[in-house]
């Protein structure tokens, strides 16, 4: 009886033994840094202070007294709120356009996807040249249209700096949306579309009642991925403005970098990083629930 019981125990737990090492590695890689981050955020490590004594919730108290942090968060949200819908709408429009068979379709798609392949810092540097007041083509073109030399300081003028960043960001990442949505649109049930056409449904009605619900799960994932990316936005902004003028375009990633690696406010930076982790986790959970609902 005992041997039978032991055998049954082994059999029922064998699967856990198999996945155990993988889970251990995942916890080690994923959870340990978070625990360490939490630990550091309660210490007082700075450029000159290497003592690991605990300072209580001092760094978290400082979070609430730091207007620059909240401004950086606001800038991040604003950039996300502008760029994400633009990328979604443009990506969807382009996907719709390339859904039908066109001559040279494959070549066009390959060309359209090129920006995604480029490193964001290179993309930022390229756009920095595009916006260059002396040699950049943008000012030249505007000058031709205006009929006189036009010098717009895209990365200095407070009214132009956000459009400049959004343009660079949208240029680089719209193709990503396009690719995902093109795949999703290709999988929409043709019979439903044909039935709608036979019933005389308008294009808009078909789109909102059949196409959109069908691509909603993929679209949600695309929004989730791009939303998270935008929240971590660093390279393009760094290459274009380094967060300036002043701190007008400083995103939370740039703020964290400056605090952590320029000013060595190690423990405070850990607290900021944890705040971002918490905010993003909440956002991800919310979006995932919506994806579930969409299913």
Partner 1 sequence: MKNRFTGVRRAGWHVGALFAVLTLACIGVAHAQSAAKTAADAAKKICAGKTITIVWEAGLQSLDPLNFSGPLWEKETGCKVKVVEVPTAEMFTKIMQEYRAGTGSYDALNVIPAWMPDLVQAGALEQLDKYVDKYGFRAELQKIAPTYRDNQMTVNGKIYGFPDDGDVFLFYYRKDIFARDDLKKEFQAKYNYPLAVPKTWKQFDEIGSFLTEKLKKDGTYGASFFREPPYTMYMFQERFRVEGGKFFDANMKATVNSPIGVKVFTEMRNENRFMPPGVEKFGFVENLATFLKGESAMTISWPPYGRFAAGYLGSEKALEWVPKSTVAGKVGYALPPGGHPQLAAGFALSVASSSKNKEAAYLFIQWLNSEEISTKRVQLPYTLRDPFRDSHFTDPVYLGLWPDAKDYLAALKAGSQTGLLDLSLIQTDKYEEALRQGISRLWAGEDPKKILDDVAKQWDDTTAKIGLEKQKAVYNAWAAKSGAYPK
The residues binding partner 1 (CB under 8 A) are: 47-48, 50, 132-134, 149, 151, 153, 155-158, 244-248, 258, 261-264
Shortest Cβ 113–partner 1 spacing (Å): 31
Shortest Cβ 246–partner 1 spacing (Å): 4
If the CB atoms of residues 56 and 85 are measured against partner 1, the closer one turns out to be: 56
What are the Cα distances from residue 235, in Å, to 71, 81, 112, 171? 19, 18, 21, 14
If the CB atoms of residues 106 and 151 are measured against partner 1, the closer one turns out to be: 151
| Rounded Cα–Cα distance for residues 269 and 249 (Å) | 19
| Rounded Cα–Cα distance for residues 117 and 109 (Å) | 13
| Rounded Cα–Cα distance for residues 36 and 143 (Å) | 55
Shortest Cβ 229–partner 1 spacing (Å): 24
Torsion of CA 47, 278, 244, 83, to 10 degrees: 160
Shortest Cβ 202–partner 1 spacing (Å): 48
| Rounded Cα–Cα distance for residues 62 and 82 (Å) | 29
Shortest Cβ 82–partner 1 spacing (Å): 20
* 78: exposed, middle or buried (Cβ count in 10 Å: 0-12, 13-18, 19+): middle
If the CB atoms of residues 44 and 175 are measured against partner 1, the closer one turns out to be: 44
Shortest Cβ 19–partner 1 spacing (Å): 35
| Rounded Cα–Cα distance for residues 9 and 34 (Å) | 34
If the CB atoms of residues 113 and 248 are measured against partner 1, the closer one turns out to be: 248
By the 8 A CB rule, do 238 and 124 touch?
yes
* 234: exposed, middle or buried (Cβ count in 10 Å: 0-12, 13-18, 19+): middle
If the CB atoms of residues 100 and 149 are measured against partner 1, the closer one turns out to be: 149
If the CB atoms of residues 1 and 151 are measured against partner 1, the closer one turns out to be: 151
If the CB atoms of residues 101 and 262 are measured against partner 1, the closer one turns out to be: 262
Shortest Cβ 248–partner 1 spacing (Å): 7
| Rounded Cα–Cα distance for residues 21 and 31 (Å) | 15
């Amino acid at each position: 009886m005992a041997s039978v019981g032991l055998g049954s125990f082994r059999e029922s737990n064998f699967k856990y033994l198999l996945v155990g090492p993988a889970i251990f590695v995942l916890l080690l890689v994923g959870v340990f840094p978070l625990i360490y981050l939490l630990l550091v955020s309660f210490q007082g490590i700075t450029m000159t202070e290497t003592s690991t004594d605990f300072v209580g919730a001092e760094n978290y108290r400082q979070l609430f007294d730091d207007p620059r942090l909240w401004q950086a968060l606001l800038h991040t949200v604003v950039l996300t709120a502008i760029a994400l819908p633009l990328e979604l709408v443009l990506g969807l429009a382009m996907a719709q356009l390339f859904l039908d068979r066109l001559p040279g379709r494959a070549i066009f798609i390959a060309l359209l996807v090129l920006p995604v392949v480029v490193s964001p810092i290179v993309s930022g540097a390229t756009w920095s040249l595009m916006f260059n007041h002396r040699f950049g083509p943008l000012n030249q073109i505007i000058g031709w249209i205006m009929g006189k030399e036009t010098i717009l300081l895209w990365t200095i003028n407070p009214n132009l700096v956000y459009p400049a960043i959004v343009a660079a960001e949208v240029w680089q990442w719209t193709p990503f949306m396009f690719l995902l949505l093109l795949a999703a649109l290709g999988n929409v049930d043709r019979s439903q579309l044909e039935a709608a056409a036979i019933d005389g449904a308008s294009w808009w009605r078909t789109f909102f009642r059949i196409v959109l619900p069908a691509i909603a799960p993929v679209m949600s994932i695309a929004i989730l991925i791009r939303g998270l990316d935008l929240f971590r936005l660093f390279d393009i902004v760094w290459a274009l403005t380094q967060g300036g003028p002043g701190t007008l375009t400083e995103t939370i990633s740039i703020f964290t970098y400056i605090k952590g690696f320029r000013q060595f406010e190690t423990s405070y930076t850990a607290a900021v990083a944890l705040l971002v982790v918490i905010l993003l986790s909440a956002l991800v959970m919310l979006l995932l629930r919506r994806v579930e609902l969409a299913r």
